[in-house]
Copies of this chain bind each other. A is one copy, B any other.
Amino acid sequence: MNTILFRHINQFVSMGAKEFEEIILYFTPEKAAKKALLMHIGDTVLHDYFVLSGCLQMYFIDHEGMEHTVQFALKGWWLADYLALQKKKPTEFYIQAVENSVLLKLSPAKRDQLLCAYPKMESYFRAVYQIAYGTYQTRMKYILSYSKEEIYFKFRESFPEFVNSVPQYLIANYLGLSAEYVSKLRRKRIS
């Protein structure tokens, strides 16, 4: 049994092992090698990914060719372009594996079937998206109220496991900082 997803679901709704064995059939296990591209700009069939191990990154490339990280997903997190997924529109983002990752993939068709057959999965995803949405509200608070230096150190304090498992240049990119600036901050803190 996939205990990571089973436990995650049971944080929000009550589900027994037997029912979970039915539900897990809707998901496709997938291994993604480091740097593998799982979603490409313009894709219309958008999967929702649950991370069992490793790390995913959602990013876009701006009109000057610069890559910007919008979001990461670590073990126990979901990741998709949720606006495009809901509206069945082409995505404007990419998703790639930051490191070798093991995932559960939910296709749009299977997702619709799952939500229809198991109403408690609507409750589960309602809670998951509500928290993700609320986390963005709080993220805006950080962006608007702290200096870049403060954001970096608060981020390190809040997510030490994350900072240790994701390359430094990607964290810098996610926080909107240059890799050189982050190196300078790290040296400053150590000295």
Contact = CB atoms under 8 A, between A and B. Distances in A.
A62 B144 contact: yes
Give the number of copies in the complex. 2
Contacts of A97: none
Interface stretch (A27-35, A63-71, A100-108): A63-71
Interface in A106-147: 115, 119, 122-123, 125-127, 129-138, 140-141, 143-145
Tell me the interface secondary structure of chain A in the complex.
helix
Interface in A153-180: 176
A119 B13 CA distance: 13
Interface of A: 58, 60, 62-63, 68, 70-71, 81-87, 92-93, 115, 119, 122-123, 125-127, 129-138, 140-141, 143-145, 176
